[in-house]
Amino acid sequence: MPDTDLLVIGAGPTGLYATYYAGFRGLRVAVVDSLPELGGQITAMYPEKGILDVAGFPHVKGRDLVAGLVAQAATASPEYFLDRTALTLRHDEDSVTVGLDDGTEITAGAVLITAGIGKFSPRPLPAGEGWLGRGMEFFVPSFAPYAGKDVVIVGGGDSAFDWALHLEPVARSVVLVHRRDAFRAHERTVQQVKATSVRIVTRAQVTALHGDGHLESVDITVDGEETTTYPAQAMVAALGFVADLGPLQHWGLEVEKRHVVVAPSMQTSLRRVFAAGDITEYPGKVRLISVGFGEAATAVNNAAVVIDPSAHVFPGHSSEGQ
């Protein structure tokens, strides 16, 4: 007997929903994640952020969404392997064995990869070298440490504007710095930030940080010429991140632009290996949490037949017999 029926690699929203759904299908399930906590990028990067695209929730905080998903996944009685990375994959006659970085091997009837964007690391801010943990951070897991402080946020994407919007009522002042006039963030969020006291400085870069042991001020240079010093006891470098598939890219999966190519059944190019969520690629792919949930159900239902050929792809509705 394999150690488990389904091994889920990735404990973000899609992986947690897949875990629940595997339990609904009567499958034993184990979950591996390289992070020490459940919730994936939401837990690591934006637990306080409001999420708007999950069906049935007009607005839900990241941490609350994760808490609900964890409680839902608990109904499957999963075995979690956290703070461990999946390194190797080996096919046997009727199972797949995945080796972890601590030497553990897990044999499963099928594997479901829900690893989001893979392993990620923040893009560095050249002027911020040596300041991490001394006033500069890459993520904002909690707003409380910024209360009453002058905060500078660097970036023009969704994270930068979301954090500016949420920190504005907490901080003493917020300055958002971006190197261009145009922003990558959602237009509605941009307009919301513009309606607040946040000062937006464009065509600009943070060129120096100052402080004795801890950040006290930053230099912001506009158009490469005019430099102004702003008070700042905290700075968030929200410049995005660099992601790669890590060890998964050596498993022989068909990959396109750092994403795993899947069939309509969510099966990858490898037998007994499925994928769902942001890591997948197929024509018309849309990377939303809500889409990942549907892909997770599709993947689990098709994996169930691979694990047990006598099973059916369609399991019936969860409300039947209630």
| Nearby residues of 196 by Cβ (< 8 Å), 6 or more positions away | 164, 165, 168, 174
168 and 146 in contact (C-beta within 8 Å)? no
Q: Can you list the alpha helix ranges (DSSP code H) found in 116-167? A: 158-167
Alpha-carbon torsion 199, 204, 208, 213, what sign? positive
Q: How far is CA 117 from CA 27, 233, 280, in A?
A: 26, 32, 9
Binding-site annotation: residue ranges: 14, 33, 41, 46, 86, 120, 278, 319
Alpha-carbon torsion 232, 152, 141, 51, what sign? positive
Residue 14 φ/ψ region, left for φ over 0, alpha for ψ in the -120 to 50 degree band, beta for the rest: alpha
Binding-site annotation: residue ranges for FAD: 14, 33, 41, 46, 86, 120, 278, 319
The token duo for 239 is: 């410049």
Report the distance separating Cα 130 and Cα 235, nearest Å. 13
The token duo for 59 is: 């607005």
118 and 279 in contact (C-beta within 8 Å)? yes
Report the distance separating Cα 251 and Cα 192, nearest Å. 44
Instruction: For residue 62, give the nearest of 48, 76, 44 by alpha carbon.
Output: 48
- Residue 145, classed as helix, strand or coil, is helix
Instruction: For residue 216, give the nearest of 224, 208, 204 by alpha carbon.
Output: 208
Q: Exposed e or buried b for every residue in 49-87, given b needs 16+ CB within 10 A?
A: bbbeebeeeeebbbbebbeebbebbeebebebbeebbbb
- Residue 272, classed as helix, strand or coil, is coil
